[in-house]
Amino acid sequence: MDDIAILRVLHVAGAVLLLGNVTVTGVWAAYLYRARDRVPFQPVARAILWTDLIFTIGGGALLTVSGILLVLRRGYAVAGTPWLLQGIVVLGAATALWLGVLLPAQFQMERAGAGDTEGLGRAFRRWSVVGWVATALLYYGLWAMAGRGGA
């Protein structure tokens, strides 16, 4: 079996898991946040944490490990390969936003009591705005890696 082909499939699968999760989670969380008078939001926030553990971390790890192995096997010079460098930089920036802003906001949403509408609202707005920025960065990374000549 061709190990490069397997790594490429794993790399794409990691990107699909990561991008799919952050996109779909942002959409359904916004829908359920608007329905929070009928649907308690604490279980939604808990589901966001679990989907992040499974799909965001899992997909991101698969994407990163397979990407590193592809770079090593193909002998790319990271600094001399603009699409590769851009993809790495935006993945790093999105990861920093997730660790520094999104994850703490998720914990705040999950811990917000039923009567803490103000705290929940602040945490959700921060999570939504920064989350969509991080999602846009990831889509730019996809464009840099696949749409502009990445191999």
CA angle 120, 126, 131 (to 5 degrees): 120
pLDDT at 129 over 90: yes
Residue ranges making up the domain that contains 47: 3-147
pLDDT at 114: 74
| pLDDT, averaged across the chain | 93
Residue 17 and residue 51 in contact, taking contact as beta carbons nearer than 8 Å = no
Domain count, the chain: 1
Residue range 19-33, pLDDT digits in tens: 999 999 999 999 999
Total Cβ atoms within 10 A of residue 107 = 13
Residue range 59-73, pLDDT digits in tens: 999 999 999 999 999
pLDDT at 149: 59
Q: Tell me the whole-structure pTM to 2 decimals.
A: 0.91
Both structure tokens of 22: 């952050």
